[in-house]
Structure 1
Amino acid sequence: MEEKKLHIIKQVGLMYLKHGIRNVTMDDVATEFGVSKKTLYQYFNDKQDLVSQVIAYFMEDPELNVHNPNPGNAIDDMFHIRHKVAYIMKMYNNNIEMELKRTYPILYQKVRETKFKRIYENTFENLKKGINEGLYRSDLEPTVVAKLLVGRTLYTLNPDYGIFEDYEINSLAFFDVILDYHMHAICTAQGIEYYKKRIN
């Protein structure tokens, strides 16, 4: 991707997080980068195309990739995910998804499907790994547990349903409560012992 276009995509993403998608016009973007709208339209067909490319870029952002580059055991990998969650919370604005749902429903559905797939696959692989290492219970059904985790993330933690407030969902302490609940449900005695060492 051309360097100038990539720079615009990254910065517009930050503008969306700060101001919301609806409040950032193509005129705003052109002004921000000191280019004409004609120049801007050489990179993007219209605002919908810009929004689509920004979302696509951030969905593939390596900083958001939860795969551990220095993998240890399955519990180490869970703490790597926790580190990524802390990073995401610093930049995430839940209103963005709500705007996508109202204004760009097809794009919103794509984001949800991607989240579903990633959460499911990452959880499924982590569960299999932990079971093989003797850190997670051998009687677990990875498929069922992974789907339950997807449901918790996409339904229970969705502020639309009013189960939890935004300030709770966007708190790392809240994530730690969920992590603790999850680990005590799936770990063997050996796994709990290792988990407690990691959190102390």
Structure 2
Amino acid sequence: MDTKIIQKATDMYLTLGFKSVTMDDIASEMGISKKTIYQHFENKNSLVEAVTMNLFETISCGIDAILTMGKNPIEELFVIKDFVLKNLKNESTSPIYQLQKYYPQIHKTLMSRQFDKMGDCVLVNLKKGMEQNLFRDDINVELIARFYFAGMTSIKDAELFNPIQFSTKEVQEAYLEYHLRGICTSKGVAILEQLIKNNNQ
């Protein structure tokens, strides 16, 4: 039952927002009593935490699988971006921003785990790109990895990037292109532009 509750809550939180969805809403959607949910999760805070960490693990495992596909580092970032967007839904509810605003401690824990995971992935990606002559060999990988993480975190701010004005997909794609154009060699830029062209077809 834990898994079913988490799955339903995840779907509703990502679609409607962490703030908007109540325990009553989840119980009603599942056709169970609110009391049943409280037998598995002490309160909404504990359910939000379970949903957040479960989603983090799902995305982390998916990224690990993508990293074994042997794609070049530019294409790899595009595939990861598409995978994350699919799992977070391309909605205008800004779930991460709501998490930060209404559940700051859970958000802080998530950011720490994301930094550990994403930091390692980006470092490997940057080094691989340099080895393949797709990324410039004069970049400071530790610094660029932090720039990338900071940017990925900031673009989830709904006040800076109003989801009604800018779709999540639009913002993610523009940021990824911005990041890659700053570090790509001419060989890398050619691959990047082909990927953008293919995505726009």
Q: Establish whether residue 199 from structure 1 lines up as the match of residue 196 from structure 2.
A: yes
> Does the C-alpha gap of structure 1 residues 97 and 179 become closer, same or farther in structure 2, counting only changes over 3 Å?
closer
SS of the residue 2:63 aligns to: coil
Give the one of 171, 185, 188 matched to 1:188: 185
Letter in 2 for 1:132: E
Q: Establish whether residue 7 from structure 1 lines up as the match of residue 4 from structure 2.
A: yes
Distance 2:191 2:101 in 1: 44
* Structure 1 equivalent of residue 77 of structure 2: 78
* Structure 2 equivalent of residue 55 of structure 1: 52
Q: How does 1:24-173 map to 2 (within 5 A)?
A: 24-62=21-59, 65-67=62-64, 68=66, 69-88=68-87, 90-92=89-91, 94-155=93-154, 158-160=157-159, 162=160, 164-167=161-164, 169-173=166-170
Unaligned runs of at least 5 residues, structure 1: none
Q: Residue 168 of structure 1: CA displacement?
A: 5.3
TM superposition score normalised by structure 2: 0.81
Q: Residue 107 of structure 1: CA displacement?
A: 0.7
> Does the C-alpha gap of structure 1 residues 25 and 155 become closer, same or farther in structure 2, counting only changes over 3 Å?
closer
Distance 1:98 1:176 in 2: 19
Q: Residue 88 of structure 1: CA displacement?
A: 4.3
Distance 2:35 2:122 in 1: 45
Q: Residue 130 of structure 1: CA displacement?
A: 0.7
Q: Establish whether residue 177 from structure 1 lines up as the match of residue 174 from structure 2.
A: yes
Letter in 1 for 2:180: M
Query: Which has more radius of gyration?
Result: 1
Distance 2:16 2:147 in 1: 33
Distance 1:97 1:171 in 2: 12
Distance 2:61 2:164 in 1: 21
Off by >6 Å, runs of 4+ in structure 1: none
Q: Residue 62 of structure 1: CA displacement?
A: 4.2
Relative contact order: is structure 1 or structure 2 higher (C-alpha 8 Å, sep ≥ 6)? Answer: 2
> Does the C-alpha gap of structure 1 residues 94 and 114 become closer, same or farther in structure 2, counting only changes over 3 Å?
farther
